[in-house]
Structure 1
Amino acid sequence: MMYNTSSNRVAIVGAVLLCVALLACAQPGPTPQAIGPFLVPYPQHLQQGEVTLPVDPKQFTIATTSSSQILKINIQRYQKLFFSAGPAQQHTSAVAALTLNINVASDNEDLFLGVDESYSIVANSHELTITANTVYGAVRALETFSQLITFARPANTYSIQYTPITIKDYPRFQWRGMLVDSGRHYLPVDFILHILDTLAYAKFNVLHWHIVDAQSFPVQSSTYPDLTNGAYNPIAIYTHDQIQQVIAYGKTYGIRVVPEFDIPGHSASWGVGYPQLLASCPSYASNTNNLLLNIADQYTYTFIKNLFTEITPLFPDNYFHTGGDEVILDCWSEDPSIVAWMTQNNYSLVEAEQYFETQMSNILASLNRTKIVWNDPYINGVQLDQNTVIQVWDVSNVTQQIINNGFKAIVANAYYLDKQVPSPFNKIHYEWQDTWQDFYSYDPMYGITENGDNILGAEACMWGDQLNQVQFDVQVWPRSLAIAERFWSNEAIVNIDDALVRIEAQSCSIAKRGVNSGPLFPDFCFLPADVPSGQHPILRLTPEQVASILRK
């Protein structure tokens, strides 16, 4: 589900050669021009004026009457991020002291699908105010406010332009996710925290952590300690404490962390420590992606239930992803014990898969979790439990059928960041980064004519087959800024030329925060010498903060 076909590769090479031959695609265009403020994602409602309000970082404060620990952490973050573009020159006393007041209706810090993320901002010479119903709405507002503050060179002064400004904003979709794959390449914990920083800058609210795959099992288990024999290296393992650190850090941004343990396919790493879990299918043994769990042995289900009973408290979100993609059903046909079991129960291969998925639903229901699967079992004809959420990765035309049948769906098929030619566009760009236009142009509701309320939202997917922390940022950003806007903003916000200028400005802005996000057209982005490398989180949490946040 993550590879280009050879025909696609041939098409890419041919088109690029033709492009070079014609000398047409390599000609730089004029530098785009636009009027700010340069906000990404663009808010639902924005009113602006023409007055510039000077800001002196030394005379700027953020105030709130809220007692929320999460809000206080973000005030600490953004007090720094507001002025991360560089040191300001000394202002005269003529620049007024300013206070940004944050008002939240509730200090409740419960984080769940559909939590209220709406907010409003008022910015003028008399008032700087954020108003939100929840602390998470206030967190989204702080990011937007950070984008209102601009830094001018060579004067080295900060200001808020285009005042008076009034913003009323809320997300279009309640599920706005990014899949991160640490099963194919281990990602250090600090880098995952960095990823959470970057997701918050673009108002993503789900980290879909594809934490285990055929190549490695990097999750510590006290119930089955030999599982990590399937990790790449003894140091390439996520301990329980590290997982909780990730969960707590995400929560401070209003980002839910949803784990994926991909089964019954992609399960070879499970069998390194516990070989009795795997089916015996010699014809498919050369490709670890093809190896499946032994679904005929009750030991498999006892094992999974015990493991998930241990793991689910670490991931408190209501949703738990069990994969289910790319299951080579014929593998089961080669295992005599599975064939005998299917014969005894009069099961076809699809009915055998049905049995497995039913057991997974029952196990997760007993743990108060809602199961997510990729669309493969549904396409195979498995009758899934009606509460199952189906994530669509390979074909867009099945989405309408899925939601018509009453299932909730997450759209991912059009947002594969690892692809040279993102499906379903089949377009070829001279500049690879210009694929941001493809992501921007595809609406998660494309082709949906009814029952659209059953679409929870969408996810971008950054598969890790050829990716680790070295090049993660440059493949994800700034292209994911386009995706983020498609997931958050009104469906009518589709102007490519306008988006290009705003995304370019925000790419430069997050680069100043330590994100390796590059340009989309010729310009200049001044990066101070002390910009961090991107390997570390903006603000670490103490163990006491982690424990306090996770108790709520």
Structure 2
Amino acid sequence: MRQTFVIVFALLVGVTLAQGPGSGPFVLPQPVSLTWGSQVVPISDASTFIIQSNVNSVTLNVATKRYSTLFFPFGNGTSTSGAPTQSLSIQVQSSNEDLALGVDESYKIAVDSASSLTITANTIYGAMRGLETFSQLLTYNPKSNSYSIPFAPISISDSPRFQWRGFMIDTARHYEPVNFILHIIDALGYNKFNVLHWHMVDAESFPVVSTTYPELSAKGAFNPLAIYTHDDIEEVVAYAKTYGIRVIPEFDIPGHAYGWGFGYPQLLAQCPGYAYNINNIALNIAEPFTYQVITGLFTEMAALFPDQYFHTGGDEVIFGCWLQDPSIVSWMNKMGFDSVHAETYFENQLTYILDGLNRTKIVWNDPFQNGVTLAPGTVVQIWNSADITQQVVDAGFKAIASYAWYFDKQQPMGVSTGEFENTWEVFYTSDPASGVTSNVDSVIGGEATMWSEQVDQMSWDTRVFPRALAVAERLWSAAYINDTNSALPRLEQQSCNIARRGVNSGPLEPDFCLIQTYLGMSRPNRLRPIIKLDRDTIKSILS
């Protein structure tokens, strides 16, 4: 019944979609255009299969090296003596490696015959998206130990719906080792996410090493081993770039600031009546040293995070904490401030600091809701209600939607799905532009979030996947691609694909996923990235 419905739906809307078993190739996220035939293109021996590009790009070279392995998860296949070399030709219009919001990620794929396999793209980042899609076209036959591409000839033309397709990780509540963050980047890259939002510090810990203010991590990290050095950050940023993923740091202030006070207690407001919950403690915004530390730290971090955007949080500020501190109350009285004016003053100071660093500020929606006058150009990330989106874009701000995609919730959007895994259906049917009737283009995308109060590297994969595949398709594919019945086979197949690559992604319905262990082979180690970059390559990518 499901297959019949999908085929009828495809005919009605006049487009070709990846269907159920036997009716076409599975690709996730669903491309803009996908057509196929009934032929099979053999890939006789992976040892004779090469990827050739018309540009010399260090960043793209890493990606092609990675996919040269990922194309063939079960080894080389059956060798054919004297078999000719097969090549996947990548034709890129520009070798420019600049990575920024709005970079062209479009690509085309043509699989015409064993000797005609091509990816064309305007940028190296479009080529990367094409490599992932091409990997999903390959199939493996364990009986003959051979690879092939069925449904040829295949023609794909594709580009994303949203520019901002993000996932937020929280390394303050639980520290994630650097290699595991690289593993997370692998998993996000497989599904065409293009932003890693790194929530780096919070009330519980301050793991980021600052050479300017070393006591922040020396006393604020959970453990001397649970830190991120400058070299660590550079590795994460460089590795993410080889997937076309931008890394956006978040230092959440002025609320959730208790972690700053381990190293420098004078940074914190004194409000003993709120100390029963460390998340209530805010920065002392009346103290000049507070702005000195922020300026020094942000200057240091801006040199490590090259992206235009810099997240400063701003959520859940407890005004009562400020109003319990005599020094802050005295300062507010002197300045003629109420709480909203005080928050506005603080946000203006952050804008001034970031303007000096040529960075654009992102905040959670709380300051906007509180009535703070935000500077033009500020991006607002919406976490608690879809109703706010229209107000944000009508006020002239860009919006990023996250409210529907909280991966720590058993009932996202208040909807019960019975089985925890089936929350993917809620994620899949939630749209960043839902309810927005004007200034729709100001909704630049969305982000899923994995808050880590009860999650670390031991459980991260299984809490995030396969459910994140639903968000990946929602942010990439057209708005009308929103039927859960037709999406389920694509999610199942892609979950199996990434499981073969070391991501602990499980099933959403009864099926069989062939992974390496069934053939007596070892799977990739999920605690290590697919490719490890050396320092010279990192420096070259970041230069």
TM-score by length of 1: 0.92
Specify the alignment match of 1:160 in structure 2. 149
1:247 corresponds to which of 237, 246, 261: 237
Counterpart of 1:76 in 2: which secondary structure? Answer: helix
Specify the alignment match of 1:314 in structure 2. 304
- In the alignment, structure 2 segments of 5+ residues that lack a partner are 1-19
Separation in structure 2 between the aligned mates of residue 208 and residue 420 of structure 1, nearest angstrom: 22
Separation in structure 2 between the aligned mates of residue 316 and residue 72 of structure 1, nearest angstrom: 21
CA-CA distance at 1:533 after TM superposition: 3.0
Specify the alignment match of 1:262 in structure 2. 252
Q: Which amino acid aligns with 1:214?
A: A
| Offset from partner CA, 1:202-222 (integer Å, 9 cap, x none) | 000000000111100000011
Separation in structure 2 between the aligned mates of residue 479 and residue 155 of structure 1, nearest angstrom: 33
Q: Which amino acid aligns with 1:471?
A: S
Separation in structure 2 between the aligned mates of residue 521 and residue 487 of structure 1, nearest angstrom: 23
1:450 aligns with 2:438: yes
CA-CA distance at 1:62 after TM superposition: 1.1
1:134 corresponds to which of 115, 118, 123: 123
2:488 corresponds to which of 494, 500, 512: 500
Matches within 5 A, 1:163-182: 163-182=152-171
Matches within 5 A, 1:439-478: 439-478=427-466
| Offset from partner CA, 1:248-298 (integer Å, 9 cap, x none) | 101111100000000000100100110000000011111111100001111
Q: Which amino acid aligns with 2:159?
A: Y
Specify the alignment match of 2:68 in structure 1. 79
| Offset from partner CA, 1:71-96 (integer Å, 9 cap, x none) | 11111111110001455234477x76
| Offset from partner CA, 1:49-107 (integer Å, 9 cap, x none) | 111111121331111121111111111111110001455234477x7642110000111
Specify the alignment match of 1:285 in structure 2. 275
- Using the TM superposition, name which of 377-386 and 428-437 deviates more: 428-437
- Contact 2:24–2:36 (8 Å) recurs in 1: no
CA-CA distance at 1:299 after TM superposition: 1.5
- Contact 1:119–1:133 (8 Å) recurs in 2: yes
Specify the alignment match of 1:58 in structure 2. 47
Specify the alignment match of 1:534 in structure 2. 526
Separation in structure 1 between the aligned mates of residue 351 and residue 485 of structure 2, nearest angstrom: 46
* Total equivalences in the alignment: 517
- Contact 1:305–1:363 (8 Å) recurs in 2: yes
Separation in structure 2 between the aligned mates of residue 487 and residue 253 of structure 1, nearest angstrom: 17
1:383 corresponds to which of 359, 373, 384: 373
CA-CA distance at 1:386 after TM superposition: 1.2
| Offset from partner CA, 1:388-433 (integer Å, 9 cap, x none) | 100000011010010001000100000111110011xx22223211
Specify the alignment match of 1:6 in structure 2. none
Q: Which amino acid aligns with 1:286?
A: Y
CA-CA distance at 1:35 after TM superposition: 2.7
Specify the alignment match of 2:205 in structure 1. 216
Specify the alignment match of 1:4 in structure 2. none
CA-CA distance at 1:456 after TM superposition: 1.1
- Contact 1:373–1:388 (8 Å) recurs in 2: yes
Separation in structure 2 between the aligned mates of residue 448 and residue 200 of structure 1, nearest angstrom: 29
4+ aligned runs moved over 6 Å, structure 1 = none
2:97 corresponds to which of 105, 109, 125: 109
- Using the TM superposition, name which of 210-219 and 302-311 deviates more: 302-311
Separation in structure 1 between the aligned mates of residue 79 and residue 486 of structure 2, nearest angstrom: 34
- Using the TM superposition, name which of 275-284 and 54-63 deviates more: 54-63
1:371 aligns with 2:346: no
TM-score by length of 2: 0.93
1:206 aligns with 2:198: no
CA-CA distance at 1:34 after TM superposition: 6.1
| Offset from partner CA, 1:107-130 (integer Å, 9 cap, x none) | 100010001110101001151111
Q: Which amino acid aligns with 1:407?
A: F
CA-CA distance at 1:167 after TM superposition: 0.6
Counterpart of 1:122 in 2: which secondary structure? Answer: strand
Counterpart of 1:524 in 2: which secondary structure? Answer: coil
Specify the alignment match of 1:349 in structure 2. 339
Separation in structure 2 between the aligned mates of residue 351 and residue 377 of structure 1, nearest angstrom: 11
- In the alignment, structure 1 segments of 5+ residues that lack a partner are 1-31
Q: Which amino acid aligns with 2:137?
A: L
Separation in structure 2 between the aligned mates of residue 431 and residue 50 of structure 1, nearest angstrom: 37
Separation in structure 2 between the aligned mates of residue 372 and residue 81 of structure 1, nearest angstrom: 35
Separation in structure 1 between the aligned mates of residue 205 and residue 109 of structure 2, nearest angstrom: 46
Counterpart of 2:303 in 1: which secondary structure? Answer: helix
- Contact 2:340–2:371 (8 Å) recurs in 1: yes
Counterpart of 2:454 in 1: which secondary structure? Answer: coil
Separation in structure 1 between the aligned mates of residue 416 and residue 375 of structure 2, nearest angstrom: 40
The answer to which structure, 1 or 2, has the higher relative contact order (CA under 8 A, 6+ apart) is: 1
RMSD, matched Cα: 1.2
- Using the TM superposition, name which of 388-397 and 126-135 deviates more: 126-135
Specify the alignment match of 2:326 in structure 1. 336
- Contact 1:266–1:291 (8 Å) recurs in 2: yes
